[in-house]
Amino acid sequence: MPSKNLVQGEKGLLCPKCSHLNPGGLKQCEYCNSQLFVKCKKCGAKVQRVISKCPECRHRMHKSPFRKLKRRMFRRSKKLTFGQTAIMVIVAYGAYKMITMAAGKF
């Protein structure tokens, strides 16, 4: 994952496709020729493709591979919470049954 201090001119530009670290000032990746910048649809600012949010207006950038990855991870975690909820319901139901049975005995 790219760090926040990885801005143009400092350490270089990280390619969103091949993760090659390009020297600052380049518009295209020197390794795979893919575009390093994308124009913000809201304010028109030139934003690095590895950044998912526009630093100028905080508009969410599309076509970001990291955003896709985040979405995939979020989906997976959602499934996990659903499974956890199902298990909790079953356990709660079992505990309820046991409590009612114990209550009936005494």
Please state, in angstroms and rounded to a whole number, the distance separating the CA atoms of residues 13 and 8.
6
Binding residues for Zn ion, rule CB under 5 A, total 15
CB atoms within 10 A of CB 7: 15
Q: What contacts 16, CB < 8 A, 6 or more positions away?
A: 34, 36, 49, 50, 64, 65, 66
Q: Does 53 bind Zn ion (CB under 5 A)?
A: no
Q: Does 51 bind Zn ion (CB under 5 A)?
A: no
Smaller CB separation from Zn ion, 41 or 75: 41
Residues 2-21 that bind Zn ion (CB under 5 A): 15, 17-18, 20
Q: Site map for Zn ion, 58-87, x if CB under 5 A? A: -x----------------------------
